[in-house]
Structure 1
């Protein structure tokens, strides 16, 4: 989150040893690189085709393909101590929608003291119920192999192959046999068996700086290569502050490059253009290419992971017989993990949206947020007291700037004890929340996983008595340093402990909380100021004897889960929760929003926020954003304005700042800059109906709210490397301004259709790069021809006060004079939408007629009632000559007039408009123009 504000509570030795690393900017030497990480160094040293494993004893059991992996020299391998390693066990399963699952674990053995950790609570039950029995299992010789392998159906058009010798698993097209995705195609598979006893002279422990990791079970890493065939680029594996398309990390001409690291860390003032791991980890990668489309790969593993993207020619000079098809373009990658098992998923695509749907069918789609959460949030470390809260709230009203949520950081607590209030600064927290709620506004307070070791603190007292803390390697409650000083950490792996934690959010337990208070989980990597790499030691122990090294990347996920479930429990299961988390893991999308952490107020960080948020969306986490203005530093006014203009299109739209920065609320930079920031915020509120509809799409299908251009235009090669522009849904294209005092900007508009400037309505041709003069008023943004965008144009204090406001539809006609779009409406807060309590309409414009039809209910009826009406219809690209519109039902005729486009920051454009058709949004109707 941030460096200490006040360190007087730290013992002198801790201050001297740790404080320099916390109050200075990020330093590479404070964190391990691959050379300093033994498992990574060992895995990277493997030569292509060095794997000597073969598959044997293959059979079909319970609908799965089961086999043993043994060495060519025999099925027995002498282990250390008094046991013999017998073999690895392979299981191949097939699931609906084109998904293959490959699991590999140690076979039966003697002397190993524990079972390897398999990550629970990530794969959703709906996916597991979709397993299908293997069909069409045949034996076939692959290439010049001497022995037969096993081929089986994955889905229509695709089949899987378990290759015997050399061992390999891949998916290929049925026709033509072109490969899609393969594991161990380059023979880099390696599996270090856990050991029961040390051999003489053997040392398992590892040192890093002043820290020692005992590694009581010895080396246990796993590594293997994954090949993406037909790929031009690969994407994914957040979180890294780098380009959307992942760059090669090994190969000819690439020197001293690090793998992409997945290891959740509290990284202070992180650098852009770096493969260094940040706050969250999602071991999911997808490829895309013009010829073969998209495919994806996911490894469910919560240990530290390092991933190489291998550049062309990385394996030059290998003397071994090539295992892969040399005539297919591909991108090879190397995946390395410190512990765990092989539990991997192949996604065949073939389109980008197919891959995202397939991945989120495994880990779950995004939770449907409350409407207020999709609006603007105001935060800083810290709003000082109740007077400060009321002052900031009043200033938003004074300057006619809407906002929905005001946030409180750690200083609101009593001595940094969570679930408490500083009684001098916040003596009346319930009254404060209720005053904001009267305007339709909410509050968020911070709750972190480190618990102050204070016997008078009820959370600590209960957790200590019940044994609910993570243990150190000796079995005692782990004691680390964080904001309160000496702290222990709740063991969130245990379902019992998660349930107990959820109870702490009840109104009786969390005194001073109200139904309008929501939660922020920070520091949940977990952050430990005096720990190795500012986190928990790897040999710390969790529920069931699981080592922290095995679940590290999922710790914050379980904390997020428990908090979210606690808010649901608080409201008796009626209201949707809102919980923001800094750490994340696959499945985090089911529990709330995330953000990109402690960024900095500079132009490069503004620019890199776009690929970071896009990558999160590709990986299932649609509800994300970056701190507007940068957490650290003082942004120049131009940078702050440009950040608001881009950030208004982030799915999660929050301004946040470090306590050492100057106050930067939108009215503090002069009248003109206030106007520009206000315009950007108003645009977000105008587009809330569109955003909310996109959040529903993410909730039902997994497709992210904002998307790379190539997701909507998968055959346009010019889009594959673009990550400064992005799509909001399928209808809007946004291009940020990422340099100071820019005079112009080039924007590539893909596709063959027109694009209409969002503020002027001016049309521009697609499949071209256009150069636009840059103005301070806005950033280039366009509506795609053939789409219909819903808006609400009346200015209110908050989204809650917009609930019954009428809608505007902006119709951008294509060359055929047609367009279509959707709108989703519900009560904005409850779970009743799961019972059909919503409105979901499709709008279609063709042959001069606009129609609204229900698409959300199989019986054609919506059970949710809304008084909202349609106030205006704007027709971009309408041919001259149309004068009137006939509205049914009602047989009402109105004129088509020239009216203002009316988007804040616009240029006073006038466009053909149908005013006050006044049809109800929940009903069927039509408007015929003539």
Structure 2
């Protein structure tokens, strides 16, 4: 029976022909708490003059040190014979101008889990100073108002009866909590039968009879509110729910905002589609529950590998966001409406008739924990990114090699195979930086081991790659093969470091790649430290400092578990039920692995760890990717909105498997995917075990040359990419950006997700359909855009048909920007580190432009002590200048960074000059200028060779 179960479980994963098996995953109707909260919303909708039963006790409100506290009363609860204490309410005014709202039980039967903040939030965050906010007197309706913000431009209004919170910007309602009255809290309690028995009022039979009589008197919707409270079955699995029902829900309205974004991971559009209301494209809410969903469908709100409960809303007039800090299973309904009862904002249509501005109503439902939500009012998107990242952390600055090209498949089979693939890249002059090994490199799926027959000398293999500046990544998953002869398995048991069954005693046993397996409990501090120690060179035999790590299957994926994951009622360290922390498990694993890679070195080396599962905060530990996609055009097309959404939600270091994981792409699809992937933050090709080999040269010409050109394009822009990674590590700004983030007042781009910006400088439009040779590109703004290949120009705003032949996609540099490049083809990024630089200067209509470059050693943490170069380039009034932006100007940089700074700028390329430049002066030297006419009426392209200035030098250069 055990063997059969293993075979069937493996068959679920390996049966990779056809669509996702929807029956393996729950719908909202099959998820008890989702069904109950949705029924509550329907009950509210069908009840005339519905009013939230929750009221604030006005006399309980206290504001001190930036925290407002009070008692929230459920008036329905108050009608019970033995009412319980009300809910505890807190509103925190933070020093970053965000507001945190917390609601939980006061004196509950059992304490609710409140540990998510300990993992997610970067400590400490500060409270607003008393001088930065002002409490206003209550108005005649008993509404308490508080002004806050840098200029006190924001107001939060707390209405007592019914309970509602409004957030206003410059007196305009922007976000409303409980405006629709859908706040609902399932109080922790004992079963009715148990309560009756304790009171000695009824025996079991009478109690059940009484329950039946009560149900007869209730409506169908009211009956749904009592379904699956104490136990829940799905297929062959039973969730024991020992604590009973404890879910909660809340409606959040983005007032005057018709586009909302975020809540990854879903294979859907950037601007989230409605799940409720007339003509809603989806009937299911968006689900946030980390799951192993191979061959996932596109255009679907189903849960995938990661979850970030962050949502941003944007309109021409306002921007706002919320972060729902909860790691339990969560569902979100989205409803678009043109009717907004809470706002006085009016928009005018062509008939000049005033109508209420469109709004978006969202309904958030979580299974357990406490209600803990942050509200961000900007006022700009960059402000929101800064505010949000100050709480959950910014992206760790990666090693330089990790933003170059990675080559992977399941699996490179032997050490000889690795050598031949490595040689193939050199033979075909295609650069790459990292070669990956999947699970077959191990000894029987035992992580931290090698199959000695296939990989007899792993240290030599890594050294051979390192000699060319290349690295290796091996896969290490959280499931540990049960085997007393396997040192990792035995130590984990001896030290009691595994997740426990619901009894809290025995270790949970499930099935994954190795067969019978156990899962490390990363909520145990000893387990995290022990796991990190496994990466030391003396324990991970055959590893070197150029070997890095891939964390897969960490949702966690359990082939024998419900929905191919771990049961919710298993127990973590501290008697924490898994249902409370499910979406955080992958992040905890990611964190411990990154810790191990840091600890193994005495050389202060940054880690590189790729994770499949993710949550808010994952960005602090490494990169993620979009999981097991398919080799088809639909998955190429959906990759852009998925990556844009993930980046908006605080995790900018992300990518999609180039070529598609499942299946066999034809040559055209593969080329187009490389061209798109060259502009993903994480650029990796990957393929399934059963797919045909597809190394970049195997399709022959002209495809090899086209792929080579795409990969080389990535390498020429590595200085620009690295600068963007530094920027996001400082303030959380996404690396690839939806068009609306750069053009926030252009309503044309609010739902646009088939083209995007890389930083503020490059516009990218991938080709995502077969047979395309021309693309429709929207050029935003009243400015010029320059093709990066031939420097032809397009003038915005408007849609233009541009050439997209088989060897290129549409990529344009925005006027007014300066982009640093390195243009010499090399075999790896390491081989480029002493190459000179080119600055491409795209002048705007005023003859101005600006840009930056960030450089450090690309490997260590020395940059944290100021050992780096950060220069701003600016063109104004005929002068190109370079200025040092380092804030730690008194810190002496290392000799290495000084050498980098002394590298010369070998070429300046001026685009968009209205007249041909005739002279460029550096001090008392005059430099030669070569000018040509740009195609398509783009003015002049003027090149200055060898200006004899260094990349890390402050200089001033005039041109005429």
TM-score where L is the length of structure 2: 0.91
Name the counterpart of 1:484: 514
Tell me if the contact between 1:844 and 1:850 (Cα under 8 Å) persists in the aligned partners.
yes
How many angstroms apart in 1 are the aligned matches of 2:81 and 2:779? 62
- 1:771 corresponds in structure 2 to 801
Q: Deviations over 1:629-687 (max 9, x none)?
A: 00000001000000000100000000000010000000000121000000000000000
**Aligned residues, how many?**
898
2:74 corresponds to which residue?
A: 71
2:167 is aligned to 171
> Relative to structure 1, is the Cα distance of residues 16 and 696 closer, same or farther in structure 2, using a 3 angstrom cutoff?
closer
Distance 1:861 1:851 in 2: 23
Cα shift at 1:85: 2.3
Q: 1:19 aligns with which of 11, 20, 25?
A: 11
What is the alpha-carbon distance in structure 1 between the residues aligned to residue 928 and residue 53 of structure 2?
78
Tell me what 1:137 maps to. Answer: 135
Range moving further from structure 2, 274-283 or 353-362: 353-362
Distance 1:248 1:460, change over 3 A: same
What does residue 160 of structure 1 align with?
A: 156
Task: Encode CA deviations 1:252-280: one digit per residue, 9 max, x unaligned.
Answer: 23377100000000001000100001000
Q: Does 1:725 align with 2:755?
A: yes
Is contact 1:106–1:193 with CA below 8 Å preserved after alignment? yes
Q: Could you say which residue in structure 2 is the equivalent of 1:249?
A: 275
Which residue in the other structure is 1:310 paired with? 335
Answering whether residue 25 of structure 2 is matched by residue 31 of structure 1, we say: yes
Say yes or no: does 1:59 pair with 2:62: yes
Deviations 1:857-880 (A, max 9, x none): 354877241231100000111233
Q: Which residue of 2 aligns with 1:151?
A: 146
Structure 1 window deviating more from structure 2 (840-849 vs 592-601): it is: 840-849
Displacement after TM superposition at 1:887 (Å): 1.6
> Residue 118 of structure 1 contacts residue 301 of structure 1 at CA under 8 Å; is this kept in 2?
no
1:359 to 388, 404, 407: 388
- How far apart are the structure 2 equivalents of 1:490 and 1:468? 6
Deviates more, 1:621-630 or 1:456-465: 456-465
Aligned to 2:326: 301
- Structure 1 residues 414 and 910, CA, compared in 2 at 3 Å: closer, same or farther? farther
Cα drift, residue 51 of structure 1: 2.4
Tell me the CA shift for residue 155 of structure 1.
Answer: 4.2
Q: In the alignment, which of 413, 420, 430 is matched to residue 401 of structure 1? A: 430
Deviation at 1:165, TM superposition (A): 1.0
The 2-side partners of 1:256 and 1:231 are apart by 20
* Residues 224, 415 of structure 1: alpha-carbon distance in 2 compared, 3 angstrom cutoff: same
Whether the 8 Å contact between 2:755 and 2:765 is mirrored in structure 1 is: yes
Say which SS state the counterpart of residue 544 (structure 1) adopts: coil
| 1:140 CA displacement | 2.4
SS at match of 1:759: coil
Instruction: State the Cα distance separating 1:465 from its structure 2 match.
Output: 1.2
Q: Which residue of 2 aligns with 1:871?
A: 906
Q: 1:115 to 1:341 in 2, by over 3 A?
A: closer
Q: How far, CA to CA, are the matches of 2:653 and 2:370 in structure 1?
A: 29
**Residue 73 and residue 593 in structure 1: after superposition, are their counterparts in 2 closer, same or farther (change >3 A)?**
closer
On the 8 A contact 1:21/1:30 being kept in 2, the answer is no
621, 646, 654: which is aligned to 1:591? 621
- Give the structure with the larger helix fraction: 2
The answer to whether residue 788 in structure 2 is matched with residue 762 in structure 1 is no
> Is contact 2:143–2:158 with CA below 8 Å preserved after alignment?
no
CA distance in 2, matches of 1:218, 1:350: 42
Aligned residues of 1:70 and 1:76 also touching (Cα < 8 A)? no
List per-residue Cα deviations over 1:336-388 (Å, max 9, x = no partner): 00111011100001222221111111101111000000000000000001000
CA distance in 2, matches of 1:764, 1:21: 48
State the distance in 2 between where 1:89 and 1:830 align.
46
Q: How far did residue 27 of structure 1 move? A: 1.5
How big is each residue's C-alpha offset from its partner over 1:888-909, in whole Å with a ceiling of 9 and x where there is no partner?
A: 3xx322210148999xxx9xx9
Helix, strand or coil at the partner of 1:681: helix
Deviation at 1:700, TM superposition (A): 0.4
Q: What is the distance in 1 between the residues matched to 2:119 and 2:482?
A: 31
Question: How far has the Cα of 1:150 moved from its partner?
Answer: 4.2
The 3-state SS of whatever aligns with 1:668 is: coil
Instruction: Give the distance between the partners of 1:15 and 1:486, measured in 2 at CA.
Output: 12
Residues 339 and 358 in structure 2, CA contact (< 8 A), matched pair in contact too: no
Q: Distance in 1 between matches of 2:67 and 2:769?
A: 55
Distance change >3 Å, CA 564–CA 638, structure 1 → 2: same
**Contact 1:264–1:277 (8 Å) recurs in 2:** yes
CA shift in 2, pair 1:763/1:540, >3 Å: same
Specify every segment of 5 or more residues in structure 2 that has no aligned partner in the other structure, as ranges: 194-206, 212-228, 346-355
Give the counterpart of 1:194 among 174, 188, 192: 188
**Larger CA deviation: 354-363 vs 511-520:** 354-363
1:252–1:313 Cα contact (<8 Å) kept: no
Does the 8 Å CA contact 2:480/2:489 hold for their aligned counterparts? yes
The CA distance in 1 between the partners of 2:726 and 2:705, in whole Å, is 31
Distance 1:131 1:28, change over 3 A: same
Alignment partners' CA distance in 2, 1:323 and 1:814? 42
Q: Go from structure 1 to structure 2 and tell me whether the alpha carbon gap of 1:721 and 1:115 turns closer, same or farther (over 3 Å shift).
A: closer
CA–CA separation in structure 1 for the residues paired with 2:150 and 2:79: 36
Task: Check the 8 A contact 1:686/1:791 in 2, yes or no.
Answer: yes
Q: Deviations over 1:213-252 (max 9, x none)?
A: 0000111001000011221300000000000000010002
Query: 2: distance between equivalents of 1:130 and 1:688?
Result: 39
Give the structure 1 partner of residue 238 of structure 2: 212
* Correspondence list, 1:659-670, <5 A: 659-670=689-700
Q: Is the 8 A contact 1:122 1:363 kept in 2?
A: no
SS at match of 2:818: strand
CA contact (8 A) 1:862 1:922 kept: no
Matches within 5 A, 1:345-384: 345-384=374-413
Q: Is the 8 A contact 2:251 2:362 kept in 1?
A: yes
Aligned to 1:828: 858
Aligned alpha-carbon RMSD (Å): 2.2
Give unpaired runs (5+ residues) of structure 1: 1-8, 316-321
Look up the SS of the partner of 1:151 in the other structure. Answer: strand
Aligned positions of 1:77-476 closer than 5 A: 77=80, 85-109=84-108, 112-125=109-122, 128-133=125-130, 135-141=133-139, 145=141, 147-156=142-151, 157-173=153-169, 175=170, 177-197=171-191, 199=193, 200-201=207-208, 204-254=230-280, 257-292=283-318, 294-312=319-337, 327=356, 329-475=358-504, 476=506
Report the CA distance shift for 1:88/1:77 in structure 2 as closer, same or farther (over 3 A): farther
TM-score normalised by structure 1 residue count: 0.93
Q: Which residue of 2 aligns with 1:673?
A: 703
d(CA) in 1 for partners of 2:8, 2:524: 36
Q: 1:700 to 1:860 in 2, by over 3 A?
A: same
CA distance in 2: counterparts of 1:686 and 1:77, whole angstroms: 70
Which residue pairs with 1:575 in the alignment?
605
SS at match of 1:343: strand
Equivalent-residue separation in structure 2 for 1:362 and 1:573 (angstroms) = 30
- The match for 2:926 among 889, 893, 897 is 893
Distance apart, 1:328 and its partner CA: 5.2
Higher mean C-alpha displacement, 872-881 vs 235-244: 872-881
1:318 alignment counterpart: none
Match in the other structure for 2:198: none
Q: 1:328 to 1:673 in 2, by over 3 A?
A: closer
Q: Contact 1:645 / 1:680 at 8 angstroms: preserved in 2?
A: yes
Shift of residue 131, structure 1, vs aligned partner: 4.4
